[in-house]
Amino acid sequence: MTSQSLYLDGIGLLGPGLTDWKQACEVLTGQQAYVATPTALPAVEKLPPAERRRVGVPVKLSMAIGLEAARHAGADLASLATVFSSTEADGDNSHAILEALASPDRALSPTRFHNSVHNAPSGYWGIATGSMQPSTSLCAYDATFAAGLLEAATQARSNGRPCMLLAYDTAFPEPLQRLRPIPAAMGVAMVLNPHRTSAARALLKLSFSDATATRMPQDDMERLRQSIPAARSLPLLALLAQGRSGSVVVEYLDTLGLGIEVCDITPSQQP
């Protein structure tokens, strides 16, 4: 792959001990110690009351990070194409469905079923924002962040319009938690733009790399990075929070990583 370049207009972040992008910047710049408190999901914005009552953690999480990133970018929600990238669907719903199928009464609620599918957050996003733009939902196990970033970058470049990446993961209940031990919900959203505008925070250049994935210098942040696929974004987020140019490598394929060069940081946009 030849290098792909595009501008980053907005960021949204939510995870254990990370309440939003502004607070996360204080952690990633060393102004605040990292404390792994449970992920606090805010009330779902924009959804009608009926849909709001039905949604699970993936929808609440993706809605929170997506709306934050769009606000920071000053983006029109209805005009944004989206890429939803997650290593699993709604673990709570999947667990409840499996329990029902293993019981004498195997009746399933249609609402529970449609909330369990992988692209449910994309559907609710469309309801909430009124967007009729293209939306892709994908999964690539531990490489889900890199795969989502590549897909969103490709769409933005090929269509000549901004595209939002929403990469997020949630925890399964037991016993599935033992098979896929993701400890907490975490997500990051990025508005990617093929054109430079006044909202641009930095220029990102993507290319494949055979170098080892970049680690976090702090032990607790490195444990977080390794334990949640969406947290593979942390080295990139640290560069952005610190307002400095540099390069990181994020896990992608077994023998191939995704290199991300950060440059042209806009001083007025630094947190």
- The predicted-structure confidence for 69-81, as pLDDT tens digits, reads as follows 999 999 999 999 9
Q: Residue 109's pLDDT band (boundaries 50, 70, 90)?
A: confident
pLDDT in tens, 7-33: 999 999 999 999 999 999 999 999 999
- Do residues 137 and 119 touch, judged by C-beta distance below 8 A? yes
Enter the pTM of the model: 0.94
3-state secondary structure the chain: CCCEEEEEEEEEEEECCECCHHHHHHHHCCCCCCCCCCCCCCCCCCCCHHHHHHCCHHHHHHHHHHHHHHHHHCCCHHHCEEEEEECCCCHHHHHHHHHHHCCCCCCCCHHHHHHHCCCHHHHHHHHHHCCCCCEEEECCHHHHHHHHHHHHHHHHHHHCCCEEEEEEECCCCCCHHHHCCCCCCEEEEEEEECCCCCCCCEEEEEEEECCCCCCCCCHHHHHHHHHCHHHHHHHHHHHHHHCCCEEEEEEEECCEEEEEEEECCCHHHCC
- Determine if the peptide bond prior to 175 is cis (ω within 30°): yes
Domains and CATH numbers, the chain: 4-269 (3.40.47.10)
pLDDT beyond 60 at 267: no
Instruction: Work out the average pLDDT over 175-200.
Output: 95
Structure tokens at 100: 């029902």
The amino acid occupying position 253 is L
In a 13 Å sphere around the CA of 86, the CA atoms on its Cβ side amount to 30
Residues 6+ apart with CB under 8 A from 189: 10, 11, 12, 13, 62, 65, 66, 68, 69, 70, 164, 165, 166, 167
Beta bridge partners of 257: 209
Residue 201 has pLDDT above 70, yes or no: yes
Read off the pLDDT of residues 159-169 as tens digits, 9 standing for 90 and up.
999 999 999 99
Q: What is the pLDDT of residue 150?
A: 97
Distance in angstroms (rounded) separating the CA atoms of residues 100 and 98:
5
pLDDT at 268: 45
Which phi and psi (to 5°) does residue 110 adopt? -60, -35
Alpha-carbon torsion angle 168, 183, 172, 192, nearest 10: 0
Please indicate whether residue 76 or residue 267 has the higher confidence score (pLDDT): 76
Strand partners for 189 = 12, 166
pLDDT number for residue 83: 98
Between 34 and 51, the more confident residue is: 34
pLDDT for res 95: 87
Looking at residue 86, what is its pLDDT?
97
